[in-house]
């Protein structure tokens, strides 16, 4: 039976609908100890966070950022040769490894789970290579068991939050004579409980708009509502030959537990490539065998958070400005400066494809071809738009 009204329409699946409405979002690195999280973090950000061969090497989360690869940005930089080049960035956080019983405090688990709560999405790094010299908390490599462990800990933490939310709501009911739990609250909490008890993430279900709003209000920042990208850490040999005995089983498990992007990669191979960066000949030969997946992983995470970027371009600066997908022109202008949003007049917009075709002689060629558009307050910014804002602020903002 179709929904009775628009308020009951089913929202598209995905974790973005549960997320925070911010442009500056963070992506964490989650997994068991010794699966390659800190080494991957170092590769992503070219930092030097400790990455030793023992559990809980990382205690406090390390945080940095990495550039989002964009051929459009590169093209504009080559054209303008600006004094300043500012790409889009993904902010990443290396979180200590979780172990069985983390939700009950094992291995400083409650602290580490709170670090996951503070990010907006996460890479779930899964070890799928045998290496006796690299310790494993379970003494053997079994990616399915390990993913079940992480999933269980996240679900158990969310179940505790669910129980608290229900108790708080029941307390409010007792304080208000004649008031009772709403049917929406009861049915929504029941659906959440069923998923978590089945060791499945909340993002896995089909939810109506009122249900999403209720979950966001009563169960703020549940761990299993966050976007998740699975990185399967293979040996260098398996990565190069594109074969591993676990990959099919891992994909099947992911599909049955909320879905999400699965990216096979190899920290071992990425580290070898990184060491070759000063030897172009050796690097190019290695890349012919297998390319780095770091740019893809960064880009997938960036878009899983619902982020896009528009560009401003000129001889002084070419810059990417990050906004949430669905941002209006005034909201995008506000990312540059609050005055731009407050005094917004219009936005002059050119798609990158049109600029690439007609902008060889500058904006005059684009205008001559009729490809520059004037957009107003209701315009929704598109990924890769090249924008120039017009604004006028003549008085102080009214209080």
Residues 214, 218, 221, 222, CA torsion sign = negative
**Residue from 365, 333, 362, 336 nearest 346 by CA:** 333
- Assess if residue 160 is contained within a domain: yes
pLDDT of the residue at 57: 43
Does 139 share its domain with 202?
yes
Number of domains in the chain: 2
125 or 132, higher pLDDT: 125
Same domain, 218 and 94: yes
397 in any annotated domain:
no
Mean pLDDT of 348-357: 95
Do 185 and 83 share a domain, yes or no?
Answer: yes
pTM above 0.85, yes or no: yes
Lowest mean pLDDT segment, chosen from 50-54, 83-87, 245-249, 387-391: 50-54
Q: Which of the listed residues 303, 324, 345 is the one where a domain comes to its end? A: 303
- Verify that 252 and 356 share a domain, yes or no: no
Which of 125, 196, 112 has the alpha carbon at shortest distance from 159? 196
**Are residues 386 and 290 both part of a single domain?**
no
Domain limits at 382?
A: 307-391
20-34, 211-225, 249-263: range with lowest mean pLDDT: 20-34
Domain of 325, CATH number, reads 3.10.20.30
Q: Identify the domain boundary among 269, 303, 337.
A: 303
Tell me the per-residue pLDDT of 102-122, one tens digit each, with 9 for 90 and over: 676 655 546 668 889 889 999
CATH number of the CATH domain containing 299: 3.40.50.300
Secondary structure class of 124 (helix, strand, coil) = strand
Q: What is the pLDDT of residue 104?
A: 67
């Amino acid at each position: 039976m179709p929904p009775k009204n628009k308020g009951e329409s089913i929202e598209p699946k995905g974790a973005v609908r549960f997320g925070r409405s911010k442009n500056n979002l963070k992506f964490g690195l989650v997994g068991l100890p010794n699966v390659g999280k800190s080494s991957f973090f170092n590769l992503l950000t070219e930092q030097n966070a400790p990455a030793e061969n023992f559990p809980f090497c990382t205690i406090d989360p390390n945080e940095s950022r990495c550039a989002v690869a964009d051929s459009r940005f590169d093209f504009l930089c080559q054209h303008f040769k600006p004094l300043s080049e500012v790409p889009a960035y993904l902010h990443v956080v290396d979180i200590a490894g979780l172990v069985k019983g983390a939700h009950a405090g094992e291995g400083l688990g409650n602290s580490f789970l709170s670090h996951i709560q503070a990010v907006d999405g996460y890479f779930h790094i899964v070890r799928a290579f045998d290496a006796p010299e690299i310790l494993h908390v379970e003494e053997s490599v079994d990616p399915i068991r390990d993913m079940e462990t992480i999933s269980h800990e996240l679900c158990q933490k969310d179940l505790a939050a669910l129980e608290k939310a229900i108790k708080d709501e029941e307390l409010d009911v007792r304080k208000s004579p004649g008031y009772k739990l709403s049917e929406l609250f009861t049915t929504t909490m029941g659906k959440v409980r069923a998923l978590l008890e089945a060791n499945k993430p909340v993002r896995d279900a089909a939810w109506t708009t009122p249900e999403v709003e209720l979950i966001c209000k009563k169960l703020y920042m549940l761990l299993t509502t966050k976007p998740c990208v699975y990185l399967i850490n293979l040996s260098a040999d398996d990565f190069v030959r594109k074969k591993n005995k676990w990959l099919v089983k891992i994909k099947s498990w992911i599909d049955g537990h909320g879905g999400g992007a699965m990216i096979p990669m190899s920290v071992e191979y990425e580290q070898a490539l990184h060491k070759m960066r000063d030897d172009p000949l050796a690097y190019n030969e290695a890349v012919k065998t297998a390319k780095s997946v770091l740019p893809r992983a960064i880009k997938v995470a960036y878009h899983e958070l619902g982020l896009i970027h528009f560009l401003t371009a000129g001889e002084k600066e070419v810059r990417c400005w990050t906004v949430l997908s669905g941002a209006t022109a005034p909201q995008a202008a506000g990312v540059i400066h609050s005055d731009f949003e407050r005094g917004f007049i219009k936005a002059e917009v050119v798609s990158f494809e049109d600029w690439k075709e007609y902008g060889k002689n500058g904006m005059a060629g684009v205008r001559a071809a009729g490809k520059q558009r004037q957009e107003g307050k209701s315009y929704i910014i598109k990924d890769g738009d090249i924008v120039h804002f017009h604004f006028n602020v003549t008085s102080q903002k009214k209080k």
